[in-house]
A and B are shown apart, each in its own frame.
Chain A
């Protein structure tokens, strides 16, 4: 018997309150980190540094939002890192090799991501391969394909004027000169809004939670579970395509060797943000806060001149701490 079967007095809480708690916890930690670092170093709170943090959040944040969708269904996606690179390479092929205009490159990257997600989703839903294995396979396939298609060399976007502005330009700064927030952050914001809307207000979103909550019950309700699940993976993949564009724009090149490791950072952000790895609950806002925590941590530790190696150690410890806090609170409740 699982704990969910046990009615508990006093636990008559409103839906999502458990996730809300964790989000508060994450938000509190974020504020604590911000206060701590700004006390420790005057450099930290400078506008240029804040912008650097936001810029660093954008790629990981978009990836993490993509993974959030899959994790809420009770699945996991290990392929988002290399998928992002694959999408970047595809846009490089379309823009630099074929010389097509900018919008085609963007659409190609998003389309490639959606297609990859469609494949992962099909493996999981139709072939009944566990998500861990299916996306592990996709991770390697896409890593290899990115290298093959690019001929293992970076593809530069020097012939596509304005490509680098997708991430590094600042539409907001152009309107409000005092707020030079890079477009990458704006895009993260828009993607997060879109996905939060989909999760909260659409059938696809409701089924995402329902699948994570009890897939068999959904199937026996006459819902075509396989199709919806594939749809969720495809949507997630399309968002990874956006991340591909963002990182390519930031580097003004598609780096085929890049990508591995990003998936774990994304999953870490999701987990810190309070999304349950067993599925059924989670929020986009939590995930974005999780991604911010990781970026603030990396940035703050660098400013305090903590060695890169130690930054990684701290990040790992934070993940364990975040999940422990969640578990401990749930056991008490």
Chain B
């Protein structure tokens, strides 16, 4: 190829405490190319892009921009090299207008430091015109849809005359029409010679928009292939390192097992509508569905983290009133949030304190002091049992890898003796090796007689783990499928996109107060 690549990353190496995140990764982007970067969560895509955009320093390797070596040591340096990254979480100021957002820090000025609002809006309008985008520069960003806000980010990136655009899962929150609109703009940028790094999990999108695909696994590049000529199954094989469905779930016979958790008619606004299901002792119930289907909301409502409008929750066959997480925990329910850093861990505290966070009062001596020695010993037994990789129980959890952080949260609930555990995206941000460990752990926990709920957006994960699979769409439970090889991803997707209930409710509707039997 005679064209000089816009970007060449060669043998990039990066280590975090306890994790070798990138092992000599190479990546190349040509002008006018949409280069998809694929890989399972934790494969190293985001780390690679954070190094490219100057957020992380690299430990080894070199980066060439337009053929010359470049030192990208800050986001500002990346900007000056014509690199722009559009993160999944948008970095816009909701209370400012579209134009003010695009030109923040570079506002056109009049004399005496007065702002030239007219020029500001005119410049924004010029950019929109180039993109064939119909958007009023004076609109407040907070009033726009997520899709439009994303376009504002793209416009902002282009206003820097960026030659390279990194898009991290740009379609995650978009509907089909918005995706079409985005792709039109991407094609336009392509035609102008802009290179685009496109991070996504969605195979159909790759086929539509990408020229080449680079697959990463376990912090290394597996290979770069042409998007048009490579079958999807081949790309998936590259991602997971094995044919899908190689590992199947062992489904125990649970006919005699009593239900530990029963949920009847659970309702919360429009997010959760009349959801009923039960989980038996020893069972893993998977929860599948598209983003925003209401699975996390179901979990949070059961756990008492959010108020519910209606519905009954029975634990061990007894109806309980759960108003707060404290009530839920007292009933033996543990919830492991998808966002460990915000909802699961006190990051600045050490492993032992986090393990004991739900059982602190058990470690108090008669004079009211915490028995730290006992707490440390307890933490050490969990470090051994769950194989948590940490220098000691005194290590702050923010220095642990995602998988080990997750294990700390699991330890917290095991210590609390919770026999109903709700895992929300248990392997998000966890590398592949740790993932299978978490899978084994979940299977073991169920085998010990706990009831496990696993919410996951990754269908292979749901199929790999679940004894039964509950599928949600738009706040409704649209069906419960049996686990095992008989159920395919297509079966799940069918229910996940079904807009009306496809099955009889698992239980009759809750009795009205008049007909309820006196206790």
Enumerate chain A interface residues (CB-CB to B < 8 A).
1, 4-7, 9, 11-15, 197, 201-203, 205-207, 209-210, 213-214, 216-224, 280-281
Q: Are B348 and A202 in contact (CB under 8 A)?
A: no
In the complex, what residue of chain A is closest to B412 when comparing beta carbons?
A: A221
Chain A residues with CB below 8 A from B303, complex form: 220
What's the Cα separation between A6 and B21 when bound, in Å? 13
* Among A6, A201, A222, contact of B325 (Cβ-Cβ < 8 Å): A222
Of B150-158, B362-370, B438-446, the segment with at least 4 beta carbons within 8 Å of chain A is: B362-370
Interface-side segment among B208-216, B281-289, B350-358, B377-385: B350-358
Q: State in angstroms the CA–CA spacing of A201 and B353 once bound together.
A: 12
- Residue-wise, chain B 317-344 has the 8 Å CB interface mask toward A (1 for contact) of 0000000111011100001010001111
Contacts of B56 in A (CB 8 A): 6
Determine whether the beta carbon of A201 is less than 8 Å from that of B369: yes
- Pick from B17, B335, B347: contact of A12, CB below 8 A: B17
Q: Is B361 an interface residue (CB 8 A)?
A: yes
A6→B15 CA distance, assembly (Å): 12
Q: B86 near A: Cβ within 8 Å?
A: no
Contact A7 B398 (CB under 8 A): yes
8 A Cβ contacts from B37-70 to A: 55-56, 59
A220→B368 contact, CB < 8 A:
no
A218 touches B370 (CB 8 A): no
Give the docked Cα–Cα distance between A223 and B360 (Å). 9
Contacting pair B326 A222 (CB below 8 A): yes
Let me know if A223 and B326 touch, CB within 8 A: yes
Assuming the contacts A7-B17, A12-B395, A213-B348, asked whether A202 and B370 have C-beta atoms less than 8 A apart, the reply is yes
Which of these, B59, B335, B353, B368, contacts A210 with CB under 8 Å? Answer: B353
Contact A218 to B346, CB < 8 A, known contacts A12-B399, A223-B357: yes
CB < 8 Å neighbour of B17 from A9, A217, A223, A280: A9
From A13, A209, A217, A221, residue with most partner B Cβ within 10 Å:
A221
Q: Within 8 Å of chain A (Cβ to Cβ): is B129?
A: no
Q: Does B394 contact A (CB under 8 A)?
A: yes
Assembled-state Cα–Cα distance A155/B443 (Å): 71
Interface pair A213/B370, CB less than 8 Å apart: no
Also in contact, A214 and B325, with CB within 8 A (given A203-B364, A221-B412): no
List, in ascending order, chain A residues with CB within 8 A of B358's CB. Answer: 221-223
CB-based contact B326/A202 at 8 Å: no
Asked if A7 and B16 make an inter-chain contact with CB atoms under 8 angstroms apart, the answer reads yes
Nearest-neighbour CB distance to chain B for A226, whole angstroms, equals 9
* B77 at interface, CB cutoff 8 A: no
Interface residues on B, range: 35 or more
Residue B305, interface by CB 8 Å: yes
Contact of A213 among B325, B347, B364 (CB under 8 A): B347
Contact B357 A202 (CB under 8 A): no
Contact A213 B349 (CB under 8 A): yes
Candidates A13, A203, A219, A281; contact of B361 at CB < 8 Å: A203
Q: Can you report 12 residue pairs joining A to B where beta carbons are below 8 Å apart?
A: A11-B399, A12-B395, A12-B399, A202-B369, A209-B349, A210-B346, A213-B346, A217-B357, A218-B357, A220-B335, A223-B326, A281-B348
Q: How far is the CA of A214 from the CA of B370 in the complex (A)?
A: 20
Determine if B326 and A224 form an interchain contact, defined as CB atoms under 8 angstroms apart. Answer: yes
Chain A residue at smallest Cβ distance from B91: A1
Instruction: Give chain B nearest CB distance to A251 CB in angstroms.
Output: 35
A12 surroundings in chain B (CB, below 8 A): 17, 391, 395, 399
Residues 160-185 of B contacting A (Cβ, < 8 Å): none
- Interface centre among A4, A15, A280, by most chain B C-beta atoms within 10 angstroms, is A15
Q: Across the interface, name the chain B residue whose C-beta is closest to A3.
A: B398
In the complex, the answer to whether B394 meets A214 with C-beta atoms within 8 Å is: no
Q: CA A281 – CA B349 in complex, angstroms?
A: 9
The answer to whether A206 and B16 have CB atoms under 8 Å apart is no
Name the residue among B55, B342, B348 with the largest chain A CB count within 10 angstroms: B348
Which residue, of B305, B330, B337, B346, has the highest number of chain A Cβ atoms within 10 A? B346
Complex-state Cα separation, A13 to B421, whole angstroms: 33
Which A residue's beta carbon lies closest to that of B372? A201
User: What B residues does A222 contact at CB under 8 A?
Assistant: 325-326, 328-330, 358, 416
Please tell me if B345 contacts chain A, counting CB pairs below 8 Å.
yes
- Do A220 and B346 have beta carbons less than 8 Å apart? no
The interface residues of chain A lying within 8 Å CB-to-CB of B16 are 7, 9
Complex contact A5–B398 (CB within 8 A):
yes
Give the residues from 9 to 31 in chain B that come closer than 8 angstroms, CB to CB, to chain A: 15-17, 19
CB distance from B479 to the nearest CB of A (A): 29
Q: Considering the chains assembled together, what is the distance between the CA atoms of A99 and B363 in angstroms?
A: 45
B396 interface residue (CB < 8 Å to A):
yes
Q: A220 with B325: in contact, given A9-B15, A9-B17, A15-B396 (CB under 8 Å)?
A: yes
Report chain A residues within 8 Å CB of B416. 222
